Amino acid sequence: MAKEGHECASKKRVEVFQSELDAKGANDNDLKQINARLDAQLKIEDFMVKWREANHAWLKLWGPLFISVVLALAGLQGFISHKLEERKANAEIVRNAVRADPEDTLANLDALRRAGLLDMSPEEIKKLGKLTPAPTK
């Protein structure tokens, strides 16, 4: 509310300066006096802006840090979600590669790994080679 009052008062001061300028014309002394008053008013308003900035310096200091932390956390969550989706995709690939014969399962998984479609080490594939399909209902 105080901010609105200051802006209204500032607008009125500008209108007063403009009306004085229009009324007094091009007289050098009058123009110098108006200029000096306007310059003083602008310095006062600049001081008020700097005073507000000083009162809210914590925002300038901590605001960017807070925003950076929030963005970093969002990026971390995105990274974790991506890793979970990769694991989910690998699990689906493994499920589809499982056959009744463990040797066929091993061959399928190894072929998928060599083709770059399955991101697993040979040791992990060896462990999964013992999987058998789930019984059908």
* Residue pLDDT, tens place only, 104-128: 888 888 888 889 888 888 888 888 7
Longest dimension (CA), the chain: 106
What average pLDDT does the structure give for the chain?
83
Q: Provide CB contacts within 8 A for 6, sequence distance 6+.
A: 48
User: Is residue 1 pLDDT above 50, yes or no?
Assistant: no
Task: Determine the Cα–Cα distance for residues 82 and 76; give it in Å rounded to an integer.
Answer: 10
Task: Determine the Cα–Cα distance for residues 93 and 95; give it in Å rounded to an integer.
Answer: 5
Residue 72, Cβ neighbours under 10 Å: how many?
A: 10
* Residue pLDDT, tens place only, 50-65: 888 888 778 778 888 9
pTM to 2 decimals? 0.47
User: Is residue 82 pLDDT above 50, yes or no?
Assistant: yes
For residue 19, the model assigns a pLDDT of: 82
Any idea where the domains of the chain sit in the sequence?
1-55, 65-137
Task: Determine the Cα–Cα distance for residues 80 and 92; give it in Å rounded to an integer.
Answer: 18
